[in-house]
DNA sequence: ATAAAGTCTACCGGATATATAAAGTTAAGG
DNA sequence: CCTTAACTTTATATATCCGGTAGACTTTAT
């Protein structure tokens, strides 16, 4: 299960992309039904990771720092929820050896979850915010969503 | 990430399948490097779900209640960790509506995670304990692991 | 009867999830 | 320049889960 926080974060990005312009936290929170103060934390975190940009003061707000088709689901999930891999010893961003488990190469269950991780990444790293837009305007260039759709 | 508990549970089942016979909790715990008392809870839970069988008293122990190629990874994970679906509104065993999210059909992120869930199930529901055995004796009938392997 | 196994119930410390609160900073507009 | 409406930062709260331990109890073979 992904966290509520990640769900909120993704929905906020989709809202920003749909708007195509800057939006205030309060406006996003209201539209997407997200607790306002919680959303603040989430957007802050995404800002620190260079996904969004903010302007302070009156007339402030958040806006995307990259085009929607460059922001992948995987990227966002890794920021908010951490590794996608189902085992620490399969994570690319936070590899840790399993403390039990004698040898990694012969671990019976590792092989299985490696396949799960691979197929999850296949979807999450190829699907972008642009693939979730309301108006399917720019979502249909060959690079992104179409590929992910074609593969299954 | 799957829980430590699920990892232990799967490894215990593989150990039982490799042995092909009854094993005491303490023996499994020692072989697989699992805290003994914790393993008790895990095996009990699997017993309640009809995966294993136990004998009490001296000469007691645990043994599999089904052939290893009938026990899927998905089955075990659902018992120990709960739903495989990344969103509650995508779970088959524990469906819950997302409390936020106005309409389920148009939820932008739901479609994406539906594909993740599908591909995870594709692996986990087709892979069995038999696919993880040491000796690849009976692991090669067409029904189970071979199919999962062929698909990617 | 006793030793050795599983069974049951309870508990515990730390981490994580989901927020909420309060006290700043910054910038626009009058 | 001062007010206001935004974002920022830090702290706090609370509930739940995770990983594990403890101890008393029941069952069975010898």
Q: Residue A108's pLDDT is what?
A: 87
Chain A residues whose CB is inside 8 A of the B132 CB are 108-109, 111-112
Assess whether pLDDT exceeds 80 at residue A128: yes
Beta bridge partners of A53: A63
Assess whether pLDDT exceeds 70 at residue B35: yes
Q: Residue A99's pLDDT is what?
A: 83
Average pLDDT over residues A20-44: 96
Assess whether pLDDT exceeds 80 at residue A9: yes
Assess whether pLDDT exceeds 90 at residue A137: no
Chain A residues 67-106, Cβ below 7 A from strand D: none
Cβ of B100 and A34 within 8 Å? yes
Q: Residue B140's pLDDT is what?
A: 45
**Poorest-pLDDT segment among A25-34, B80-89, B94-103:** B94-103
CB count, 10 Å around CB of B41?
13
Query: Over chain A, what is the mean pLDDT?
Result: 90
Cβ of A112 and B73 within 8 Å? yes
Chain A residues whose CB is inside 8 A of the B120 CB are 116, 119-120
Q: How far apart are CA A71 and CA A119, in angstroms?
A: 19
Query: B108 vs chain A: nearest CA distance in angstroms?
Result: 5
Assess whether pLDDT exceeds 70 at residue A77: yes
Cβ of A2 and B127 within 8 Å? no
Q: Residue A82's pLDDT is what?
A: 96
Q: Residue A143's pLDDT is what?
A: 40
Chain B residues 108-127, Cβ below 7 A from strand D: none
**Poorest-pLDDT segment among A77-81, A117-121, B145-149:** B145-149
* Closest Cβ–Cβ partner in B10, B109, B148 for A11: B109
Nearest-nucleotide field for A100 (CA, C1'): D19
Q: What is the Cα A82 distance to its own chain's centre? A: 10
Query: Over chain B, what is the mean pLDDT?
Result: 89
Q: Is A21 exposed, middle or buried (0-12, 13-18, 19+ CB in 10 A)?
A: exposed
- The tens digit of pLDDT for each residue in B88-147 reads 999 999 999 988 888 888 898 999 999 999 999 999 999 999 999 987 554 444 334 433
The whole model's pTM is what?
0.88
Query: B50 vs chain A: nearest CA distance in angstroms?
Result: 21
Contact positions of strand C to protein Cβ (< 7 A): 3-10, 17-22, 25-29
């Amino acid at each position: 299960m992904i966290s509520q926080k990640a769900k909120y974060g993704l929905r906020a990005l989709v809202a920003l992309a749909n708007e195509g312009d800057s939006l205030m936290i309060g406006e996003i929170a209201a539209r997407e039904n997200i607790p306002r103060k919680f959303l603040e934390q989430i957007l802050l975190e995404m800002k620190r990771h260079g996904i969004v940009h903010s302007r302070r003061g009156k007339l402030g707000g958040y806006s995307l720092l990259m085009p929607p088709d460059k922001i992948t689901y995987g990227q966002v999930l890794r920021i908010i929820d951490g590794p996608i891999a189902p085992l620490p010893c399969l994570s690319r961003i936070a590899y840790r050896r399993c403390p039990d488990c004698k040898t990694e190469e012969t671990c019976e269950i590792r092989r299985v979850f490696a396949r799960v991780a691979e197929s999850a990444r296949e979807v999450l790293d190829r699907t972008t915010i642009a693939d979730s837009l309301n108006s399917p305007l720019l979502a249909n260039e060959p690079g992104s969503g179409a590929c992910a759709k074609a593969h299954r």
